[in-house]
Amino acid sequence: MDKSIIASEFSFKAVRSSGAGGQNVNKVSSKVVLNFDLVNSKGLTEEEKMLLQTKIATKLTQDGILILTSEEDRSQLKNKEKVIKKCFKLLENASVVPKERKETKIPRSVKEKRLNAKKVMSTLKQNRKKPNF
């Protein structure tokens, strides 16, 4: 994953933000929308593209475009920086290949501990009964 190439492929759009800000909200477009074309990216290998498409499929459009927004700050520049960080963090987390799980046996001590706990509970319940004379 080449971050400099990916960063050059981002396209930004400034939109009017909702929320706090008073009259500033009506005048300034501080919300930033980032679009990243994952399918046609030159900064990712084909394997990375396939992995990312499966892992972040819910965040992609049907055309394979990733859309992220940021409207936390009242400053457009800060929102742009935040959405870039958000995108790179998402791509890095999704491109990690999980380790394959090795199946192991249940240890004998764990089985014995479970059976002993069952025996203790059984005797406890038996002691609650009325004695049979």
Q: Where are the domains of the chain?
A: 3-95
Say if residue 97's pLDDT is above 90.
no
The CA–CA distances, whole Å, from 20 to 7, 58, 60, 107 equal 30, 29, 29, 57
DSSP string, 57-77: GGGB-TTSEEEEEE-SSS-HH
Collapsing DSSP states into helix, strand and coil, what is residue 101?
coil
**CATH number for the domain running over 3-95:** 3.30.160.20
Q: What is the pTM of this model?
A: 0.68
DSSP string, 19-49: SS-TTHHHH---EEEEEEESTT-SSS-HHHH
Instruction: For 28-74, write each residue's pLDDT tens digit.
Output: 788 899 999 888 888 888 888 888 888 888 888 888 888 999 988 88
Mean of the pLDDT values across residues 104-117?
Answer: 97
Average pLDDT, the chain: 88
